[in-house]
């Protein structure tokens, strides 16, 4: 059965996102969690929340200038992936990349996205999911 037949993605509240992040994300309550536009990955049958994606406006304007040579006053449409977290007990092949790419598609439907920045914290992971989703 295809992933799209077993799972669905929808916009969720900050509170719903925070519950899963507090339980499974390596930063837990640390690291200035900013909620912007949040998406959740749910199992179809149980409606259990499996993953959380949090997109924010860019936190450091100078990064956009450095990455794209754009003045900081032209930031409309530049966003960053602030958090990506999956329940480690519900792992399935390609599920995280399915969720991230589906969340980005939904984000583009509700917001004007010019570019999306994300960061891999090398102390905790190497960014394989971002690479699989063609982030540069």
Beta-carbon neighbour count of residue 15 at 10 Å? 9
Instruction: Indicate which CATH number applies to the domain containing 113.
Output: 3.40.630.30
Residues 85, 25, 117, 60: is their CA dihedral positive or negative?
positive
CA dist 89 and 77 (Å) reads 34
Tally of domains in the chain: 1
pLDDT tens, residue by residue, 52-83? 999 988 777 666 666 666 666 566 778 888 88
Please compute the mean of the pLDDT values over residues 16-27 and round it to a whole number. 78
Q: How confident is the model at residue 113 (pLDDT cuts 50, 70, 90)?
A: confident
Cα-only R_g, the chain: 15
CA dist 8 and 108 (Å) reads 17
pLDDT value of position 41:
97
Domain containing residue 82: 3-132
pTM recorded for the entire structure: 0.81
DSSP string, 36-78: SEEEEEEETTT--EEEEEEEEE-S-HHHHHHHH---TT--TTE
The position carrying tokens 């179809």 is 44
Question: Mean pLDDT over all residues of the chain?
Answer: 79
């Amino acid at each position: 059965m295809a992933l799209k037949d077993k799972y669905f993605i929808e916009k969720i509240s900050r509170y719903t996102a925070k519950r899963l992040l507090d339980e499974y994300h390596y930063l837990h309550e640390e690291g200035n969690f900013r909620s912007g536009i949040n998406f959740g990955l749910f199992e179809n049958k149980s409606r259990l929340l499996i993953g959380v994606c949090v997109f924010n406006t860019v936190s450091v304007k100078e990064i956009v200038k450095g990455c794209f040579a754009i003045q900081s006053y032209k930031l409309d449409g530049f966003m960053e992936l602030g958090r990506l977290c999956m329940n480690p007990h519900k792992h399935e092949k390609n599920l995280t990349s399915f969720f991230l790419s589906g969340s980005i598609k939904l984000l583009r439907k509700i917001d004007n996205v010019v570019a999306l920045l994300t960061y891999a914290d090398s102390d905790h992971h190497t960014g394989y999911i971002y690479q699989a989703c063609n982030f540069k």
